[in-house]
Chains A and B, each alone.
Chain A
């Protein structure tokens, strides 16, 4: 029993890593209707900026805050000078542009900071809390807490604020949004900037655990995408819950389902997606969309 609970707790903390990236992907999708493969790459770049700043002697929290500011600007600039050209075109092309951006950023980071593993200092102490025979690191607890806060803020942004409403309006139909007087271009830049900031937070949270490398989030990206689809593209809460479910089920399946084992546990999220989407095409928490003819 102790093992079972420990596996669940482990799954939650791994799931939080996926959730962090997934939230940023959802934000960009909500704001621009696009899946951004470069989200992880941009987040890693922010983490490198923070890491570089700490090496210059700045306190960690200041470095992270500055990196977040950098990310907002960088995200907005990427939207304005790169993505803008592709937003009205074929969505496949736009997605491939984000893949190109990911390659470029990864290569840039590798060139400037090498492909070696860098130690990123942790915001939280490396202590362990134990209760009922289950131990969990303060770092995982902290990461999870920050993600829950970010999730609630995002949910609030989309549901309860004018900005969130405007962002969604632009994503769903840029033309009508423009007709109704919304500054479409500026809103898109805001969406990208916010998502980049969220990515920066995510990277700063998970970098101590994964160690900083240019490809740090590449493997997490697939899980994050799975969480995004499973949770429903429109729901920050759904996405985080989905990421946790994926993290937990993966662990349990690996240990308790001999046929799956640790090598094929990666199949779990996809089986889950398939089963859930057959029943609920909009994802666990997603809203149904109406397709116009």
Chain B
């Protein structure tokens, strides 16, 4: 609901529009009454002729603060660099600098909703925040208030369903896509495979497994021999690894998002003498932060999916994108260490995707922004791997929906076409 309206206009109009907003929550039928109030082309909150402000609510303390901090650092670094170059020229001809206002929600849905309430009148759009429940908590409110909640870091498909979520768009591939990509690779292999599955007991783990299973359906060379779950709050998954090792599977599908648990799983499996081919999700497959300490070289193959270049990988040491990114992160993103989570790269790409939308939007309004954002096709954001791109025109899919399967080569990753 628009605060400016309430202070300026007569009570009657305000009440009428409030009712309209209320009803608009259920559908679009009364929408016209309300948009009529905000005159055609009048600037939305959070945007002036020389600047635009974006809001983020994400965990900056607590258990998920590591990746959470990255979601702010990448985008802040990207726009910090652009601002230093003088700003971004928008589709309406104005050149604006981009400011970021980030708040900590500690992965608490209630606090995320409160942060949204606090930001919504000052920011042009909400973006980049990490977490499924924390984004779901204020999704309905964002729809009712017509505030964009875009390019967020959750693989929950709900946010990419245009019908259900008209003001939302996810950035990272939905979890199903990632699981599916690996499943397809495995199904196309010539050999017989016995698969063990360990997944996080939530929508993250379930999404991966669902995608994987749909891809191997009907492939008679693949057999799932055991399937277990763990809780994100567990201190150890030794018992699960022990039981799965007992199944003697030769492929291990490990949908795990907790860094220490991935490392200890890799170590535990080696102790038990179980060395399967191992699949890891895109967010827990960092060569330096996870695979090296886990001793991943002991396994015949560590597979993961990705759409972003791994900055520490020797293959990209000379890459221009990577060098720009690695120098901007400490300079503008207040992130002095080498990025430990891929979320830093992703939010950098979110920045580039937003810039793409900004240059296309014709009016300084949220409507115009959403239109521009939904019209991006085949945009190769910086740090993107070959064969992947940002495409927002496909309903039901987030901004990035293509991933490539990669195999660990001891220091970085190589893209693979076949499973050996």
Contacts and interface: CB of A to CB of B under 8 A. Distances in A.
**Chain A in direct contact with chain B (Cβ < 8 angstroms):** yes
B337 A116 contact: yes
A11 B239 contact: yes
A17 B236 contact: yes
Interface string B221-259: 000000011110111101110110010000000000001
Interface stretch (A92-100, A172-180, A210-218): A210-218
> Chain A contact residues (Cβ within 8 angstroms of B): what range?
35 or more
Given A126-B295, A135-B273, A263-B229, A114 B69 contact: yes
B66 A117 contact: yes
Contacts of B270: 128
Q: Classify chain B: how many residues form its interface, as a range.
A: 35 or more
B246 A115 contact: no
Contacts of A262: 201, 228-231, 239-240
Contacts of B230: 262
A107 B61 contact: yes
A117 B264 CA distance: 13
Nearest to B240: A262
A137 B264 CA distance: 12
A240 B297 CA distance: 36
Interface in A77-125: 106-107, 110, 114-117, 119
Contacts of A223: 235
Given A135-B273, A262-B229, A220 B235 contact: yes
B293 A119 contact: yes
Contacts of B63: 215, 218
Given A126-B295, A128-B271, A14 B236 contact: yes
B263 interface: yes
Contacts of B239: 7, 10-11, 14, 250-251, 254-255, 262
Contact of A117 (B234, B242, B259, B273): B259
A244 B336 CA distance: 41
A71 B331 CA distance: 35
A14 B263 CA distance: 15
A196 to B, nearest CB: 21
A135 B272 contact: yes
B267 A126 contact: yes
B1 interface: no
Interface string A3-30: 1001100110110010000000000000
A8 B90 CA distance: 63
A106 B66 CA distance: 13
Nearest to B237: A262
Contacts of A114: 66, 69, 337
B337 A117 contact: no
Interface in B255-311: 259-260, 263-264, 267, 270-273, 289, 293, 295
B242 A3 contact: yes
A13 B263 contact: no
Contact of B235 (A3, A14, A136, A214): A14
A255 B243 contact: yes
A10 B33 CA distance: 65
Given A135-B273, A211-B263, A262-B240, A115 B233 contact: no
A12 B246 CA distance: 19
A115 B65 contact: yes
Nearest to A221: B235
Nearest to B273: A135
A157 to B, nearest CB: 28
Contact of A263 (B201, B263, B273): B201
A110 B65 contact: yes
Contacts of A213: 66, 260
B141 interface: no
B69 A117 contact: no
Contacts of A218: 63
B385 interface: no
Contact of A209 (B240, B264, B272): B264
Which 4 residue pairs of A and B lie closest in terms of their CB atoms, listed nearest first?
A: A115-B65, A251-B239, A10-B238, A211-B260
Interface of A: 2-3, 6-7, 10-11, 13-14, 17, 106-107, 110, 114-117, 119, 126, 128, 135-137, 209-211, 213-215, 218-220, 223, 250-251, 254-255, 261-263, 266
Given A116-B66, A117-B263, A215-B62, 10 more contacts: A10-B236, A10-B239, A11-B239, A115-B68, A128-B270, A136-B271, A209-B260, A213-B260, A261-B229, A266-B231
Interface of B: 61-63, 65-66, 68-69, 201, 228-231, 233-236, 238-240, 242-243, 246, 259-260, 263-264, 267, 270-273, 289, 293, 295, 337, 340-341
18 contacts: A6-B272, A10-B238, A14-B238, A116-B337, A116-B340, A116-B341, A117-B66, A117-B340, A126-B295, A135-B272, A136-B271, A209-B236, A210-B235, A211-B260, A211-B293, A213-B260, A220-B235, A266-B231
